[in-house]
Structures are given as structure tokens and as C-alpha cells.
């Protein structure tokens, strides 16, 4: 992978506003990669992630008829069982990291922003130059994450308890205000990072 790339990792708890933050980096010319979208693609019938789920967890985790990965059912199991969550991460994360590497290699931009739950440079070979943690209050994050979903606050807390923070966090952005407030904070950070990218 080219050594003149500048990679920003964007992470935070579910509902913290990572995707919104990523969209603001795109406005600044960053090539943006959303790891959750990659997972969606991997879970499409016949793809590598779909096969892994079918082989390791069983066909009961596929929807009837279309045979898609039932992410709701899978989530309820793994987010209430730490060992099963680690198994899921062990079989899916390498596939995700491989797809991220492919996207970076095919990008013309030298500025990359990646949204992911966490980054592990040792395992993935992807060690961002800067890791940004999007921080949000429990209430605000729960409201964002639970919108359109049937999930209780206790279930959400269980998920957070299983989510590990990255080993390295360089910048913390508080996201408890408006979208405009978040955009201003991202703009300020990008201005600070630009001299290091040139």
C-alpha cells in the first residue's frame, strides 16, 4: 500500500454519529469508506460473509425465501453472548479489512477516511494516521441508533458493554449538538490535518 496516503479512522459507539462525520470528510475531498456498507455487501447471498454465517451459525440465521443474512436475529444472539460476538468478529473482520484494502488500492485519492467500529492495525494491516472517536451521550446515541428499530435501552447498553474502544484514539469529538455543530468541528480538524497531508 502506498506510503504517501493519509488515513483517518472514524469510530465511536453505535449511534454516535460516525456516518454523518464521514460525510463531512467526503466534502473535503476524502475518499470515504463505510465498513458497515461493506458488511452489507458481504452478507448478500452467495458472497463470502454470507457463506461464513451459514457455515458457522447455521441456516436458521438466513431469512426464509430470499435466504439473506438475518442481521436482526444474528445481532440479538451475538450481542447477548460475548464469545459468539468474538467468533463473528473473527470470521467477518478479516473479510471487511480485505475489502477496505482493495478500495484504498483502487482509489485515486491520497486522503482516505474510514468509518469502522474499531481499528486493529496489528490484525488488519490498517493503522490510520489519526483515529477520531465520535463521543455522544447515552441518550442521544440511543435515540439515533434505535430510530426505526425495536431495541430497548437495556439491549442498547448491552451492545455498548461489548464494544471495545480502539487501542489508539488521537482526537475526540463531542457530538451532542446540531449537525451544523458537528460539521464545524470536522472542518476545524480537517484544517489542522491538511498541512500534515501535504
Low-confidence ranges of the chain (pLDDT < 50): 1
Rounded CA separation 174/172 (Å): 7
pLDDT tens digits for 56-85?
Answer: 999 999 998 889 999 989 988 998 888 998
Cβ atoms 92, 49 nearer than 8 A? yes
The answer to pTM > 0.75 is: yes
Rounded CA separation 156/146 (Å): 8
What pLDDT is attached to residue 114? 95
What pLDDT is attached to residue 126? 67
pLDDT tens digits for 26-44?
Answer: 999 999 999 999 999 999 9
Stated as kind and residue range, the H or E segment containing 134 is: strand 130-135
In order of their start, the domains of the chain are 6-197 (3.40.50.300)
Could you say which DSSP state residue 15 is in?
T
What pLDDT is attached to residue 65? 84
Rounded CA separation 18/74 (Å): 22
What pLDDT is attached to residue 81? 86
Stated as kind and residue range, the H or E segment containing 33 is: strand 31-34
Amino acid at each position: 500500500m502506498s506510503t504517501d496516503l493519509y488515513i483517518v479512522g472514524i469510530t465511536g459507539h453505535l449511534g454516535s454519529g460516525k456516518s454523518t462525520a464521514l460525510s463531512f470528510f467526503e466534502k473535503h475531498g476524502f475518499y470515504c469508506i463505510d465498513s458497515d456498507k461493506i458488511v452489507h455487501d458481504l452478507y448478500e447471498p452467495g458472497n463470502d460473509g454470507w457463506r461464513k454465517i451459514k457455515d458457522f451459525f447455521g441456516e436458521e440465521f438466513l431469512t426464509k425465501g430470499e435466504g439473506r443474512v438475518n442481521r436482526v436475529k444474528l445481532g440479538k444472539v451475538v450481542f447477548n453472548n460475548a464469545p459468539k460476538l468474538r467468533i463473528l468478529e473473527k470470521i467477518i473482520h478479516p473479510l471487511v479489512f480485505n475489502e477496505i484494502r482493495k478500495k484504498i488500492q483502487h482509489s485515486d485519492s491520497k486522503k482516505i477516511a474510514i468509518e469502522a467500529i474499531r481499528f486493529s492495525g496489528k490484525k488488519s494491516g490498517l493503522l490510520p494516521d489519526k483515529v477520531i472517536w465520535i463521543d455522544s451521550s447515552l441518550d442521544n446515541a440511543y435515540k439515533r441508533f434505535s430510530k426505526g428499530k425495536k431495541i430497548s435501552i437495556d439491549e442498547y447498553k448491552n451492545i455498548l458493554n461489548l464494544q471495545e474502544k480502539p487501542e489508539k484514539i488521537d482526537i475526540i469529538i463531542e457530538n451532542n449538538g446540531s449537525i451544523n455543530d458537528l460539521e464545524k468541528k470536522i472542518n476545524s480538524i480537517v484544517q489542522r490535518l491538511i498541512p500534515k497531508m501535504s
